[in-house]
């Protein structure tokens, strides 16, 4: 069975974000268009659907690393801040965004709180696991079609290249044939010139004798 580990992370996150738009519990807050995702960022995200992308990314991380808490996720989504002439400094990601996203995912039934030994935090539920694995299966199913389409394009390119090569070869052969014909036509003219020159030389020789 296909799991989320069988597909690329970026593809999975993008597709999951599209599917999360259909889930009523996952909604960006009213302040989402204006907020930065952390101290290290200079501006808010340019992508209008960034809330769904972040929720999809969080769900994937919980699937992989759970049980995981907000503190570790803040480290994962942090970054270095450009402080001008000063040395760059690492800042954690926004805890509020991660907390709200996690609460929405929990409300939707994709994650739940659990403890495993000394570790505690959110883990993925069977519903969340099934949700991601189904999306991974869809992505995996689309790849053969894309590969076939690419193969067709490549075959067409090869055929076009072969045709081009044949056309160029014919053009070269035609030019060479024309050269040969021109050379054959020139040979009698050269012979006539040589005969005329010989006749002139003979006449000059006879004139000198006389």
Tell me the two tokens of residue 178.
Answer: 């024309």
The CA–CA distances, whole Å, from 34 to 76, 83, 148, 171, 172 equal 22, 22, 43, 64, 66
- Say if 105 falls within a structural domain: yes
- Say if 120 falls within a structural domain: yes
Q: Tell me: the pLDDT tens digits for 65-124?
A: 989 999 999 999 999 999 899 999 999 999 999 999 999 999 999 999 998 888 889 999
Q: What is the residue-averaged pLDDT of the chain?
A: 85
By the 10 Å C-beta count (0-12 exposed, 13-18 middle, 19+ buried), 191 is classed as exposed
Number of domains in the chain: 1
- Say if 119 falls within a structural domain: yes
User: Could you tell me which residue, 204 or 57, shows the higher pLDDT?
Assistant: 57
Instruction: Kindly report the CATH number assigned to the domain that includes residue 48.
Output: 1.10.10.10
Separation between Cα atoms, residue 124 and residue 141, nearest integer Å: 24
- Say if 38 falls within a structural domain: yes
- Say if 204 falls within a structural domain: no
Task: Judge contact between 98 and 68, C-beta under 8 A.
Answer: no
End-to-end CA gap in the chain: 113
- Say if 189 falls within a structural domain: no
Q: Tell me: the pLDDT tens digits for 1-33?
A: 788 888 999 999 999 999 999 999 999 999 999
Q: Which residues of 46-65 are buried (b: 16+ CB within 10 A; e: fewer)?
A: eeebbbbbbbbbbbbbbbeb
User: Could you tell me which residue, 114 or 203, shows the higher pLDDT?
Assistant: 114
Separation between Cα atoms, residue 115 and residue 124, nearest integer Å: 12
Domain that holds residue 110: 4-146
Rounded to two decimals, what is the model's pTM?
A: 0.67
Query: According to the model, what pLDDT value does residue 96 have?
Result: 94
């Amino acid at each position: 069975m296909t799991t989320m580990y069988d597909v690329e992370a970026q593809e999975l996150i993008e597709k999951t974000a599209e599917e999360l738009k259909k889930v009523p519990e996952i909604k960006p807050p009213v302040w989402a268009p204006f907020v930065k995702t952390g101290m290290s960022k200079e501006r808010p995200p340019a992508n209008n659907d960034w809330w769904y992308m972040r929720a999809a990314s969080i769900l994937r991380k919980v699937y992989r690393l759970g049980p995981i808490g907000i503190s570790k996720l803040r480290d994962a989504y942090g970054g270095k801040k450009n402080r001008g002439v000063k040395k760059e400094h690492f800042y954690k990601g926004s805890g509020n965004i991660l907390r709200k996203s996690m609460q929405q995912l929990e409300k939707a039934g994709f994650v739940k709180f659990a403890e495993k030994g000394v570790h505690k935090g959110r883990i993925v539920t069977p519903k969340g696991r099934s949700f991601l694995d189904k999306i991974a299966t869809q992505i995996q199913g689309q790849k053969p079609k894309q590969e076939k389409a690419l193969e067709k394009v490549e075959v067409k390119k090869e055929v076009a290249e072969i045709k081009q090569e044949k056309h160029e070869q014919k053009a070269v052969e035609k030019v060479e044939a024309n050269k040969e014909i021109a050379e054959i036509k020139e040979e009698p003219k050269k012979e006539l010139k040589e005969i005329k020159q010989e006749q002139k030389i003979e006449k000059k020789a006879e004139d000198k004798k006389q």
